[in-house]
Amino acid sequence: MKYTQITIFILVAMLASSLAACGVKSNDELGVNNKTIVNSEIELASYDKAQIVNEATVIMEGEVISKEVKEDFEKFPATDFTIKVTKVYKGEPGKEVIVRTQGGETEKMIYNPESDKVVTFKIGEKVVVFLTDEKGTRPDRDDFGYFVVGQYQGKFMEQNGKIKNEKYEFNSSAFESELKEMETGNEDLFNKLSESDKKLLQQDSPQEIIKIYYKAIMDRNYNLAKSCLFESTDSSDTIKFWDAHKSLKNLQIKIPDKLADGSEIAQSDKVVMFDVQYDVVMETNVYGEDTGHSLYFVGLKRNNSSERWKITVLGTAP
């Protein structure tokens, strides 16, 4: 029997905090006035448009009116920007929001994260932002309101009839309808399921949703499998993954001690993470079964306790 471990580095800090899916490698040196200077490289998870929409608890338009640099709970500088809300597309942000970003200068430290990946703002700037209030259990979570989903990927400007950033764009005139289509895509699929499949997905156990997902793949009930995900997908990579997992054994679901980068796991009634292990039967021949062993890191979330659990992150972990 052959065992192969697949390892792909995937960062899922978006589930614990939206330092939103980034890992940091830092370089420390002593600078002006004996301040520590930290220059960091950011490893950032890539989002598609539907993920940004569905991960956001607030989507809004606003004007940046002030900023304040503070120490976060790890003693690194963080800059909190206050944005006056001018239009709301999703959520209930109130009249102003406080958005935390990485980097800044305090009396002790200058922190310079990789500038082309970490989101930042300018006073007076008019922006459309996709925000998340998922901050895990970090001790400073009450000091600010939101992170930007996907860092720079969740900040947009309106230009020439487009709401755009360097990666994505929406048509200004069709922005609200496009958001609605992306938000309701998976629920439309859910409504087409059989009553028995709908009942399965209403369970309050995220572990059961993981089991249902894999069983649906083995049964080739792909509509049910898609409905287990936060946003549906028909990509060729997803279909290949499902085809390769038609037969699996020894499914084990465990709560991990730490994230792949060594940081603590922040579980809540809205966000949970699991290690999932199983054997995949690749083929059967005269010598028996040729089996591969897989270790996956799976994250699930829901926007509130009345909603059903959905898988947001499904990737292999080192």
pLDDT in tens, 73-104: 888 999 999 999 999 999 999 999 999 999 99
Cα–Cα dist 256/84, whole Å: 39
Cα–Cα dist 251/144, whole Å: 40
Quote the tokens at residue 110: 């200058």
Cβ proximity of 103 and 79 under 8 Å: yes
Provide the residue type at 247 as one letter.
S
Q: Provide CATH 2.40.50.120 ranges for the chain.
A: 16-183
Which CATH number is 194-316 given? 3.10.450
Cα–Cα dist 194/157, whole Å: 42
Q: Which helix (H) or strand (E) holds 243?
A: helix 236-244
Instruction: Give the C-alpha distances (Å, rounded to integers) separating 124 from 82, 157, 171, 288.
Output: 11, 13, 23, 68
String of DSSP letters for 214-246: HHHHHTT-HHHHHHTBSS----HHHHHHHHHTS
What is the chain's mean pLDDT, rounded? 79
Cβ proximity of 186 and 53 under 8 Å: no
Question: Which residue carries 């490289």 as its tokens?
Answer: 41
pLDDT in tens, 164-213: 999 999 999 999 988 887 776 666 778 888 999 999 998 889 999 999 99
Please state whether the predicted TM-score (pTM) of the whole model is above 0.85: no
Provide the residue type at 300 as one letter.
L
Cβ proximity of 306 and 318 under 8 Å: no
Quote the tokens at residue 63: 């004007």
What pLDDT is recorded for position 113?
83
Question: Which of the residue ranges 160-169, 215-224, 259-268 would you say has the lowest mean pLDDT?
Answer: 259-268
Q: Is 42 helix (H, G, I), strand (E, B) or coil?
A: strand
What is the CATH architecture of 16-183? Beta Barrel (2.40)
Band (pLDDT 50/70/90 cuts) for residue 124 is very high
DSSP summary character for residue 258: B
